[in-house]
A and B are shown apart, each in its own frame.
Chain A
Amino acid sequence: MIEIIDLHKSFNGLNVLKGVNLTIANKELNAIIGKSGCGKSVLVKHIIGLIKPDKGKILIDGVDITAVSAEEVDKIREKLGVVFQGGALFDSMTVFGNVAFPLREKTKLGKKEIREKVLTALEDVGLGSAGKKYPAEVSGGMRKRVALARALITEPKIVLFDEPSTGLDPIILHAIHRLIIDTHKKYGFTGVVISHEIPEIFDIADRVAMMNDGVIVEAGTPEDIKNSANPYVRQFITGALEGPIESLA
């Protein structure tokens, strides 16, 4: 379980997170939606422990990662898989090398076992024949799938998806969402998906939280969010220019 309690963060005097409170239950697929720049990615970086908050707590399975040593944060990170916004694949390695990397570095598996696991993971994301290609040689959608395979290869308890479908065409977007659902069913991880893909995100998430201006303004099931009377939520899901959210802020 992930509990985010009163999380604050500012950069050079600009308050990005202004008291985020959110609870993410085990094995659920949670979506965090909100307009660009509202602090979603900063929130994910806090969960990974890449950024220290100014105030507040992040409890992962009861351990406050903001208050423990670097070694203990690393132990928590071993439970995490992360799909970064741009994939964050290592340019110098092939697709196979990228997916095999966490196994080579973090486990004592032999070459044969690693090869089998990687090929299975690549098959799972529909990239069985792309292993020898380099990240620069594959499309944006393929890079996201490689990143997904890499994030899942160690079978983590928690997987964070930072805008996994941004910049993709509608068909690839649905394919990525389908993959997230399928892999969630197969591996049973707790998922956090940062997205602003409306309405597609409602089809994949068990729960949705809407973030605006550094705080969670509403959280609930996709149905709750769709039927919410909250003016921020209404404006965001309808994409209206008029409303409490500044359209060009």
Chain B
Amino acid sequence: MTDQTHSTISLLVNDVTHRLSVDNRRTLLDVLRDDLDLTGPKKGCDHGQCGACTVLRDGRRVVSCLILAVAADAAAITTVEGLAVGGRLQPIQEAFVRLDGFQCGFCTPGQICSAVGMLAEHAAGWPSAVTVDDAPHAAPELDEAEVRERMSGNLCRCGAYPAIVRAVVETAARPGVAG
């Protein structure tokens, strides 16, 4: 009889396929950090409350601490390490650097992955809790209130929020950037 408490999974992480044997109890976050040495996603609270472990799963932002690695089998994962293309930072990353969107930097990989996912959600026309929903087919402008609401799943213990919001608002306003 096979050991049912372990599973063999396949993960496409930052465009590289990994075949891994995992204890079913392990989270995607732990596998990314400990098995694949991708330490961008951070273990902040480990309860899905802080957003420091945010990655993209099949293009959508998720908290990797509440996803069992075995349940992520066959998923495409993007961590902050996989955002830059050919050594070129994405606009949101460049904006965080230029506008000082962090202090200690611990929450930054999660903030940036969350922002990438959020901009795509906005481009797809998704509303938020602060969206005045009288025109359900038009995406609202990503102003400060929209960005604060849509990014509320990422806590910053240093309180660098003003610069984080500036970086996201400015990136959203750039032509050619989703959002």
A and B pair up: no
